[in-house]
Structure 1
Amino acid sequence: MVTSSIMVLFLLGLTAAAILAAASRVLHVEEDPRIAKVEGCFPGANCGGCGYPGCSAAAGAIVEGKASPEVCVAGGAEIAENIAAIMGVEAAFKEPKVANNICTGGSRANLLFEYEGVEDCRAEALLYGGEKTCGLGCIGLGSCVKVCGFDAIRLNDDGIPVVDMNACRSCGKCADVCPTGAIRISGMTMDLLHLNQIDDCLAPCMQKCPAQIDVRTYINQMKNGDMRGALLTMKERNPLPLAVGRLCPAPCETICRRNIADDGVAIHTLHRFVADWEMNSGSRLKLDCNPSTGHKVAIIGGGPAGLSCAYFLRRIGHEPVIFEKRDHIGGMMKGIIPEYRLPAKVVDWEVQSILDLGVDVHTGVEFGKDITIDSLENDGYEAIFIATGAWKVPALEIENADAEGVLDSITFLEEVGKSITNLKGKKVVVIGDSNTAMDVVRSAARLNCEVTSLVGCIQRKMAANKSEVIRATELGSELKYLTEPTRIIAKDGKVCGIEYREVQYDDPAKALGIPKPVEGTEAVIDADIVITATSRVIDTIPFEGKDGSPILTVSKKTGGLDADSLSLQTKRPNVFVGGEVHTGRSIIIQAVADGRRAARGIHHFITEGVIPELENPQLRVIPESILKNMDVTYTIPRIKIPEITIEERRSTFKEEVKGSIVYEAARKEGSRCLRCGLTCYDSEAGAEYAQDADVKTFAELGKV
């Protein structure tokens, strides 16, 4: 019985083996030998980052033409080239990408409860929604560390993932398991062109900055001695840190959370300090640029917006060409803004850093005459960015506005040091409340004349920065607030005086609305020169056709060219605009921001044909990030910036009013930064200076 059973099973096995052997001969498919060769090129990580279940499957996909030789995320360019050689093709450039962590909160975020469940971020997020009050912060249980096959992530003492950029292979597993999006995969193009979104970890200063500069990161890098890293962080958003560090009115400082506790961080000063570090070192920081894509972009105007756009386009691989009307580039930074605010040598250094990336420039070329949109299209430019600025100063609409001795602010500033070198004994009246007006006042005062400024509002309503107003009055100039000119008095066609009157708000206490004339307040002052600095507007003539019809529409609200607010694309799809030609008179950091936004729009337009819409862009300050109270331990005095004396200012146009600071002072100011996240902050900021005599605790001051 047993013997017969064994024989039956043996015969069945033998029969099955024979059938399988026959089937294998019939159904056998010879494997392409290239699959093994391609798989042999891979590092063998089987990470799945390529989207295929293992290296063997990825190799098969390459041989079948379903994947490119660059598909392996764990391998580099050399591996891609080896695979391409096997396949008889050329390897294309693949921009490297790495994981990065947007959360800085860690244990500093407020805890909702003590979690004692499974040590997995996904489980905690699924069961409890996470333990911290910040919905996009890192949960801190290290699921990303566990899934990384390259030992590229570790948790620091605060429970925050730290990515080793050299070890990361961008497989994406860490991002896949992160339930809050705190870990993300990005590359240079994504980093340079990313626009703030609501689900980013944005400190208030980052939200308020038009250029969206990562303030907390570069301050922390500077504080830790990583000057190169700090500058690279700044240049992800701002290619003109030297100029911005001198001219920006620093809206970021007005919203700094430190203001709740004592005084806001001197962000603007630290920005300049980091930028000056590079220039003072005598060598330029090497910036990576992607290989050329062959896409040509024309940029009309070599001011801050045009330079910014060219910088970002070049770094991501495109070929921008700047066309400039004047014989040099830099816009108003060069030759208009006085050197005691922004020296020409600083502008030259900054501009050269951008040109060295491979940006071509053609000067002496006027838009609307020498080149047009149509001519540039015919020359092969796939997109055009117009950034011609707002150089036109509206004439006064009063009697004798065209008399000899009446100048506009731009002409005056451009001629200072050239045809205008000394105004000793002259009486100058400046009309306007802008930063340009204060530049005129300060420059005229340096030329040994008596200066009076007619300002049509109260001081806090002036368009000029408060510091610029103070600088103007320090030189002895008189600012007559709530006044307006009524007529210019001329004799033999030359200015000899100006009549003005007082104006007032309907509700002086609230100072709302437009001030109205006060009857019976007319007065006259002597004047040899009247300088108009009321505003600056764009020249619309280049944007009109031969029949006078508009080529591009002008906004009634801003006086600038109309365009989409995020992409800066006009009604003509291949034409983009930015800077003051779009916004009207504005600040330098806005022009820089426009250049980057335009670069993003242009990049998508010329590579994809369409510009993707952002689902949740951060367009205004996020309400939940504005805290009313904070528990901060240490108070450290805000840094004092050295300045040349008032007497020294009277005798020089070349020396900057504000001086430089030393590293230790910058480091101490940087320690005041709370390293804010969306809602979290470092309450122990500045602890390393606790022993300094000028550092106190709020408890000691009785302010807890």
Structure 2
Amino acid sequence: MILTSGLTLFGIGLLAAAILGIASKLLFVKEDPRIALIEDNLPGANCGGCGFPGCSGAAAAIVAGKAPASICIVADGEAIATIAALMGQEVIEREPELAVRDCTGGLRAADLFHYEGALDCRAAHLLYGGSKSCPEGCLGLGSCVRACPFDAIHMGPEGLPVIDPTQCKACGNCVDACPRGVIGVSGMSARLLHLNQTTDCLAPCRQKCPAQINIPRYIEQIKAGDYDGAVMTIKERNPLLVTCGRVCPRPCETVCRRQYVDETVGINMLKRFVADRELRSGVHLPVPCAKDTGKCVAVIGGGPAGLSCAYFLRRLGHSPTIFDAMPALGGQTRYGIPEYRLPKADLDWEIQGILDLGVEAKLNTKFGRDFTLESLKADGFDAVFIGIGAWQASGMYAEGEDLDGVMGGIEFLTAHALGQKPETGNKVIVVGGGNTAIDAARTCVRLGAEVTLMYRRTRNEMPADVEEIVGAEDEGVQFKFLAAPARVIGDENGRATHLEYYEMELGEPDESGRRRPVKKEGSEQRMEATLIIPAIGQKPDLACLYDDSEEGTCPLETTKWQTIVADPDTFETAIPGVFTAGDVYTGPDLVISAIGDGRKAARSIHYHLTEAAIPIPETTQKTMIPYTLFKEIDSVERKKRAVLPHLCHGDERNCTFNEVEGPLDEQQALAEADRCLRCGLVCYDRDEPFLAEERETSPDS
């Protein structure tokens, strides 16, 4: 029986061998010799970062045309060039990428419960999302460390992964291993294109900043003495840091957690410190730009929104050309902000840094007169950005405001900036309560006039920056509160001589939350004036958009406030490929808001030129994240906030346009940076004396 079975198996074996022998002759498959040659030139890491199973799989994919010669994330440039030559392919230059950690919590983040499960972040995350109090923060169990095939990650003393940039190959294994999205792989372009996400480690100041600057990072860099690094961090979101260091009203500081301990951190002071350090050096730090794409974009308007849009388009590899109707770039930062707040030489230096990247500018070139949307398309521009600002002054709605001797606030400031020396006389009335009104009033003081600023509400409701109001008081501007213009009275030559006004009282709050001013009947009074400056609002002038037909049609959708309608997520208008941002889209707003929206518009233009659609993730942060806005800040020592020095005092200040405020010195800046709590979503730095006391009183100690 055994013999029979053995013979049977032996026969089956012989038959199988014969079949395989015949098949090998009939079905012989010759392997492409390039696969072996390419595999020989790959590093043999078999990390899988290319998306294929090992280097042999990558080689086969390259030969099959399923992957470019540059698919390997580990191979150096010489190896890629050799592989490309074997395939007859063009070498594709890949932008350098690194794994980056977006979390500052670590040991600072409290535990919700004691975890005793498997020491793996993915396993811990399955249990109520993990034990850490921060819903987005690092769980600290090191899954990313074990996933890295290049030993580029280790857990640092703060309980957070630390990435070695010299070892990281951007393979993405750590990204796949992290259940919280704490680690990502990105290069320069990805960072420029990134929108704040609710899953990011966003301190309240970052959430509030219209430009989405990584404020905690640049303050931490200042604290460490890395001033150039701080400048480059800011420039990933804001190319006008010298300007904003002087004129930004600091919305970020309104939500600074430090205010619940003593006073807010001087965030803008610190921005100005590093910005002025670069400025005084006279040399712009080198700003990297992506490889040229060959795409051309017309940027209409050289104000903050247009400059920002052009800057980020250039950094993303496109070729922007700015068209501006004025003789110099800067928009309202040049023509609406006086020299004593923003020296024009400093603005020139900052703008030149943008142009030096390869941005072209055509000045004294007016939209609607010298070119149109149609002519730009005919000239070969692939997309258009409209950022023409809001240059038209709103009227007082008072009888006689068309008389000589009445000049709108922005009109007055622009005329002065152009050197036209508008005549003020000796008694000026400025009507309004915003920064434009304050700027006009303080400018007239410097021109030798006695100035009264009339505002229909009280000082508490004035929208101007507090520092600007105080500055105006210090310089002798008189304030007439609870007063509103009724009519302008002129002489026989049609020139204004007096302003008649009503006394007002405050009623119920309006849509802005401020109490509505109500006219007191029979309260009319007169005030003498040689110049009346209404500065109660501005709006865009959209005449440039209308054609010459009798109907005067406009190709874009507009609002009753004379702003352009666009998609709020992409900034694209009703015309595909035409985008907008800044005051012409929002109405008069902050410089920093125009800069932030200029970048977002550049992002959309980039995707419009390179992708099928403009991605807007569902987790994009649009409002403040409620759970991050707590007010109980314990275990933090009180520290005094820095004060900006004043460069001009007394008569020197009132009689010249020299800059009033100066920057912090290095010692002050380092002390102010040390006040930052290095906040994350819920974590922040506590001071060691308090922590030591807590450890001594802890039941576990």
- What TM-score do you get using the length of structure 1 for normalisation? 0.93
Find the aligned partners of 2:211 and 2:513 in 1 and give their Cα distance.
Answer: 31
For residue 132 of structure 1, give the secondary structure of its aligned residue in structure 2. coil
Describe how 1:133-532 pairs up with structure 2 within 5 A. Answer: 133-416=133-416, 418-420=419-421, 426-491=426-491, 492-507=493-508, 512-532=514-534
Q: Letter of the 1:645 partner, please give it.
A: H
Shift of 1:7: 8.5
Partner of 2:643: 640
Deviations 1:521-561 (A, max 9, x none): 211111111112111111021122333223212223x5421
For residue 127 of structure 1, give the secondary structure of its aligned residue in structure 2. coil
For residue 407 of structure 2, give the secondary structure of its aligned residue in structure 1. strand
Q: Letter of the 2:662 partner, please give it.
A: G
For residue 145 of structure 1, give the secondary structure of its aligned residue in structure 2. helix
Find the aligned partners of 2:52 and 2:555 in 1 and give their Cα distance.
Answer: 50
Establish whether residue 597 from structure 1 lines up as the match of residue 600 from structure 2: yes
Find the aligned partners of 1:323 and 1:301 in 2 and give their Cα distance.
Answer: 6
For residue 444 of structure 2, give the secondary structure of its aligned residue in structure 1. helix
Shift of 1:208: 0.6
Moved more, 25-34 or 671-680: 25-34
Moved more, 380-389 or 612-621: 612-621
For residue 291 of structure 2, give the secondary structure of its aligned residue in structure 1. coil
Aligned residues: 688
Note if contact 1:75-1:169 (Cα within 8 Å) is conserved in structure 2: no
Partner of 1:702: none
Establish whether residue 649 from structure 1 lines up as the match of residue 653 from structure 2: yes
Moved more, 116-125 or 540-549: 540-549
Note if contact 2:412-2:422 (Cα within 8 Å) is conserved in structure 1: no
For structure 2, the residue ranges without an aligned partner over 5 or more in a row are 695-701
Q: 1:507 to 1:16 in 2, by over 3 A?
A: closer
Shift of 1:40: 2.0
Establish whether residue 584 from structure 1 lines up as the match of residue 577 from structure 2: no
Note if contact 1:505-1:511 (Cα within 8 Å) is conserved in structure 2: no
Find the aligned partners of 2:141 and 2:110 in 1 and give their Cα distance.
Answer: 16
Shift of 1:413: 1.7
For structure 1, the residue ranges without an aligned partner over 5 or more in a row are 691-696, 698-704
Shift of 1:649: 1.0
Find the aligned partners of 1:681 and 1:45 in 2 and give their Cα distance.
Answer: 40
Deviations 1:552-596 (A, max 9, x none): 12223x542111112111111111111111111111000101101
Deviations 1:13-58 (A, max 9, x none): 6665555444333332111111112112222211111111111101
Note if contact 1:544-1:552 (Cα within 8 Å) is conserved in structure 2: no
Q: 1:303 to 1:512 in 2, by over 3 A?
A: closer
Shift of 1:191: 0.8
Q: Letter of the 2:127 partner, please give it.
A: L
Find the aligned partners of 1:287 and 1:81 in 2 and give their Cα distance.
Answer: 27
Partner of 1:611: 614
Find the aligned partners of 1:309 and 1:482 in 2 and give their Cα distance.
Answer: 41
Find the aligned partners of 1:476 and 1:69 in 2 and give their Cα distance.
Answer: 71
Partner of 1:548: 552
For residue 608 of structure 2, give the secondary structure of its aligned residue in structure 1. helix
Shift of 1:421: 7.8
Q: Letter of the 2:421 partner, please give it.
A: I
Q: Letter of the 1:138 partner, please give it.
A: C
For residue 244 of structure 1, give the secondary structure of its aligned residue in structure 2. helix
2:680 to 672, 677, 682: 677
Partner of 1:99: 99
Partner of 1:561: 564
Find the aligned partners of 1:501 and 1:166 in 2 and give their Cα distance.
Answer: 71
Partner of 1:43: 43
Note if contact 1:570-1:576 (Cα within 8 Å) is conserved in structure 2: yes
Partner of 1:693: none
Shift of 1:613: 3.1
Deviations 1:366-388 (A, max 9, x none): 10111111111111111110000
Find the aligned partners of 1:512 and 1:100 in 2 and give their Cα distance.
Answer: 44
Partner of 1:694: none
Find the aligned partners of 2:350 and 2:190 in 1 and give their Cα distance.
Answer: 24
Shift of 1:79: 3.4
For residue 555 of structure 2, give the secondary structure of its aligned residue in structure 1. coil
For residue 672 of structure 2, give the secondary structure of its aligned residue in structure 1. helix
Q: 1:687 to 1:672 in 2, by over 3 A?
A: farther
Q: 1:353 to 1:512 in 2, by over 3 A?
A: closer
Find the aligned partners of 2:52 and 2:513 in 1 and give their Cα distance.
Answer: 66
Find the aligned partners of 1:164 and 1:281 in 2 and give their Cα distance.
Answer: 31
Q: 1:77 to 1:388 in 2, by over 3 A?
A: farther
Note if contact 2:322-2:361 (Cα within 8 Å) is conserved in structure 1: yes
Partner of 2:698: none
Shift of 1:95: 2.5
Q: 1:33 to 1:50 in 2, by over 3 A?
A: same
Two-structure CA RMSD over aligned residues (Å): 2.4
Find the aligned partners of 2:607 and 2:76 in 1 and give their Cα distance.
Answer: 25
Find the aligned partners of 1:618 and 1:563 in 2 and give their Cα distance.
Answer: 19
Deviations 1:59-116 (A, max 9, x none): 1011011111121122344433222111012122322322111111001111112323
Q: Letter of the 1:279 partner, please give it.
A: L
For residue 406 of structure 1, give the secondary structure of its aligned residue in structure 2. coil
Deviations 1:341-369 (A, max 9, x none): 11111111111111111111111111011
For residue 322 of structure 1, give the secondary structure of its aligned residue in structure 2. strand
Q: Letter of the 1:497 partner, please give it.
A: H
Find the aligned partners of 1:330 and 1:686 in 2 and give their Cα distance.
Answer: 49
Find the aligned partners of 2:513 and 2:53 in 1 and give their Cα distance.
Answer: 68
Q: Letter of the 1:538 partner, please give it.
A: P
Note if contact 2:461-2:514 (Cα within 8 Å) is conserved in structure 1: no
Q: Letter of the 2:414 partner, please give it.
A: E
Shift of 1:651: 2.3
Partner of 1:129: 129
Q: Letter of the 1:649 partner, please give it.
A: R
Find the aligned partners of 2:287 and 2:77 in 1 and give their Cα distance.
Answer: 19
For residue 385 of structure 1, give the secondary structure of its aligned residue in structure 2. strand
Q: Letter of the 1:328 partner, please give it.
A: A
Shift of 1:214: 0.6
For residue 393 of structure 2, give the secondary structure of its aligned residue in structure 1. coil
- What TM-score do you get using the length of structure 2 for normalisation? 0.94
